[in-house]
């Protein structure tokens, strides 16, 4: 919905329009000058004064056809009396006459006039062929159809009268060191007097309807050219604001007739506007510029945050993958050590069987030393038969279950341990059994084999003694082997428990990393949304604040100051001597419409 800026008009100005229009209506038949001119002259006969206290005051009276086309222009001027024998003036007029006294004038170059000075204000009038600064086009409609004024006379129906004002002035004004080309801020006030016996249901657009003693006065206001001067369409907060450049009245009518319309044009409506208070808006513009800079910095900061969270997100993704691999390796290590523990238990059982077998062999050898050859041979055969499966079982357990245990090696490989960590685990598993199995056991087996071989070769006497000694050593070694195997199993058990704890801890770490990964994903999305939101604010809202509410607002304020100054600069219609001050207003009266 469009908004309308209230026109800065005082009640006195509105009443002045009514008074001027009424006076004109009463004297419409007077051919020389409108009655309003007589009223104005009567008010300005005091010595050394002019209306408004200026050096020259002008009232321009224009007669126009019913459609607003001007047919005659009369300028009435009042000169303020000055010290000296003459009063200088400039007037681009013809047929100049003194209205109030007998002072005479002489003409000079460039429309210069020199009036005799009698000590009183001089009131004179003349005709002008110059175009008015603001023209008015009046259009009539009957029942929605445009109708010529003459054809409208005597008609009945719904009538609409529209006044369109065009401002032809252009002034270049400097404000804060910058030039602005604007229109003089003319305010148009149009009075339409309607007969209460003929017109009803009266409505006004950009106007006001007032009842006056059986008649209806409709006053319309407009400020043509002001919207273009301020360029509000370039300022987004006010781009839909409408400053009217037309006035329209509509009514139901019977036997249409219209005595006249009168329009007052004045360039001074903004003179009393205190634009000095608008300097705060310049400060606001500077503040909004600072806000825009801060928004840009915030955009950069949120962008860096988003990038940092992205990097953290990507890095933690790799970390989470590593934790998952550790968890899988720890579980595999725990499973392998469990199998290794089971193999170690079998090793302990084999070592104990070896120890028991050696004890039996030792007993058999002892019986050999005290028995005959036959019994010795039988004992040797029995010894070999009893020792062979024990040594075979021991060797199988040693090689298959310990040294080349595939599960143990696979567990170490799957654990993703460093080389030092693998060595540490191998050391914990093999230190105790290594000495017994890798060093003493081969010697024991060799001793047994040699002893048995020697016995077979007939070295029974000395061999049996050596065999007895070897058996004693072997028995001692087997006991140490059994203790070492037991220690090994316990060590593997501890390592297995540690691996179980590692697997459990890595599983918890894996779960925690998943949760943290999800949290980082949310943080990443939130940081990106924050950056996008701040970017949008910076690009759109902050850009608007800087361009529209910053420089845009400053531009409107400066243009308003320029428009006000243009109004103050427009002081004359016919001319004004250098160094003098003036004021001017226009009254445009349209012709009657009757059958």
Site of tokens 């369409």: 233
Measure the CA angle with vertex 393, ends 388 and 398; round to 5°: 125
Q: Are residues 514 and 574 in the same domain?
A: no
On whether both 585 and 493 belong to a single domain, the answer is: no
Same domain, 319 and 251: no
Q: Are residues 585 and 515 in the same domain?
A: no
257 inside domain: yes
Query: What pLDDT is stored for residue 242 in this prediction?
Result: 86
Q: Report helix angle 11-26 to 35-42, nearest 10.
A: 120
Q: 495, 526, 557 — which closes off a domain?
A: 526
In a domain, 275, yes or no: no
Residue 153 contacts residue 256 (beta carbons within 8 Å) = yes
- Picking from 494, 511, 526, the residue at the C-terminal end of a domain is 526
Is 40:76 a contact under the CB 8 Å cutoff? Answer: yes
Domain that holds residue 97: 3-267+570-589
Does 345 share its domain with 461? yes
Domain membership flag for residue 301: no
Q: Is residue 80 part of a domain?
A: yes
Q: Give the pLDDT confidence score for residue 50 in this predicted structure.
A: 84
**Is residue 280 in some structural domain?**
no
Q: Is the residue at 547 inside a domain?
A: no
Same domain, 581 and 445: no
Same domain for 32 and 165, yes or no, is yes
> Are residues 164 and 218 both part of a single domain?
yes
Q: Are residues 349 and 457 in the same domain?
A: yes
Contact 230/28 with Cβ under 8 angstroms?
no
Where among 496, 526, 556 does a domain terminate?
A: 526
Look at residues 161, 79, 92, 155 and name the one whose alpha carbon lies nearest to residue 124: 79
Measured N-to-C along each axis, helices 373-398 and 460-536 cross at an angle, to the nearest 10 degrees, of 10
Phi, psi of 42 (to 5 degrees): -65, -30
In a domain, 532, yes or no: no
Report the alpha-carbon distance of residue 587 to residue 25 in Å, rounded. 13
384 and 447 belong to one structural domain: yes
CA gap 223, 278 in Å, rounded: 21
Mean pLDDT by 10 residues, the chain (595 residues): 37 40 36 38 52 90 98 97 92 96 94 94 96 98 97 97 97 93 95 94 96 89 93 81 94 97 91 63 57 63 67 63 65 66 65 67 60 53 60 58 61 69 60 52 53 50 60 65 67 68 69 67 69 63 52 82 93 94 96 95
Q: In this structure, are 244 and 373 located in the same domain?
A: no
Closest CA to 360 of 396, 389, 395: 389
Residue 460 placed within a domain: yes
**What is the predicted pLDDT for the residue at 307?**
72
CA atoms of 519 and 343, how far apart (whole Å): 45
- The answer to whether 188 and 129 have CB atoms below 8 angstroms apart is no
**Together in a domain, 253 and 320:** no
The total domain count for the chain is 2
């Amino acid at each position: 919905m469009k908004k309308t800026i209230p026109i800065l008009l005082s009640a006195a100005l509105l009443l002045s329009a009514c008074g001027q229009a009424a006076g004109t209506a009463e004297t419409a038949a007077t051919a020389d000058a409108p009655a309003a001119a007589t009223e104005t002259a009567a008010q300005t006969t005091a010595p050394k004064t002019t209306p408004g206290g200026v050096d020259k005051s002008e009232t321009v009276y224009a007669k126009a056809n019913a459609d607003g086309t001007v047919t005659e222009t009369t300028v009435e001027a009042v000169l303020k009396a000055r010290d000296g024998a003459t009063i200088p003036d400039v007037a681009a007029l013809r047929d100049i006459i003194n209205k109030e006294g007998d002072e005479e004038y002489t003409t000079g170059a460039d429309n210069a006039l020199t009036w005799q000075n009698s000590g009183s204000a001089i009131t004179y009038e003349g005709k002008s062929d110059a175009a008015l600064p603001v023209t008015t086009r009046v259009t009539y409609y009957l029942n929605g159809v445009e109708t010529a004024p003459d054809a409208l006379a005597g008609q009945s129906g719904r009538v609409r009268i529209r006044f369109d004002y065009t401002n032809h002035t252009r002034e270049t004004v400097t404000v804060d060191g910058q030039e602005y080309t604007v229109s003089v801020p003319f305010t148009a006030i149009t009075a339409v007097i309607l007969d209460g016996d003929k017109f009803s249901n009266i409505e006004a657009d950009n106007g006001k309807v007032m009842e006056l003693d059986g008649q209806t006065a409709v006053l319309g206001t407009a400020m043509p050219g002001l919207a273009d001067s301020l360029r509000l369409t370039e300022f987004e907060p006010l781009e839909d604001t409408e400053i009217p450049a037309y006035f329209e009245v509509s009514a139901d009518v019977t036997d249409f007739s219209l005595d006249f319309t009168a329009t007052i044009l004045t360039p001074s409506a903004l003179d009393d506007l205190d634009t000095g208070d608008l300097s705060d808006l310049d400060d606001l513009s500077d503040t909004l510029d600072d806000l825009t800079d801060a928004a840009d910095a915030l955009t950069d900061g949120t962008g860096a945050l988003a990038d940092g969270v992205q990097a953290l997100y990507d890095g933690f993704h790799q970390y989470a993958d590593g934790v998952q691999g550790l968890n899988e390796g720890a579980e595999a290590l725990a499973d392998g050590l469990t199998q290794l523990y089971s193999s170690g238990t079998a090793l302990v059982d084999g070592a104990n069987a070896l120890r028991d077998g050696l004890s039996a062999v030792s007993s058999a050898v002892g019986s050999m030393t005290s028995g005959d050859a036959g019994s010795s041979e039988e004992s040797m055969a029995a010894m070999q038969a009893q020792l062979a499966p024990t040594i075979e079982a021991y060797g199988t357990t040693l090689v298959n279950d310990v040294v080349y245990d595939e599960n143990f090696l696979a567990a170490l490989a799957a654990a993703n341990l460093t080389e030092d960590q693998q060595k540490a685990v191998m050391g914990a598993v093999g230190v105790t059994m290594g000495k017994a199995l890798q060093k003493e056991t081969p010697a024991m087996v060799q001793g047994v084999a040699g002893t048995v071989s020697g016995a077979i070769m007939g070295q029974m006497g000395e061999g049996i003694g050596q065999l007895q000694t070897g058996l004693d050593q072997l028995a001692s070694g087997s006991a140490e082997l059994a203790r070492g195997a037991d220690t090994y199993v316990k060590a593997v058990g501890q390592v297995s428990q540690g691996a179980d704890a590692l697997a459990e801890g890595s599983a918890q770490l894996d779960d925690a990393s998943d949760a943290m990964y999800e949290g980082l994903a949310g943080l990443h999305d939130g940081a990106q949304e924050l950056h996008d939101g701040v970017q949008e604010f910076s690009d759109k809202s902050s850009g608007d604040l800087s361009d529209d509410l910053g420089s845009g607002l400053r531009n409107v304020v400066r243009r308003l100051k320029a428009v006000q100054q243009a109004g103050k600069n427009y002081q004359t219609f016919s001319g004004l001597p250098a160094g003098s001050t003036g004021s001017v207003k226009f009254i445009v009266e349209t012709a009657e419409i009757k059958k």
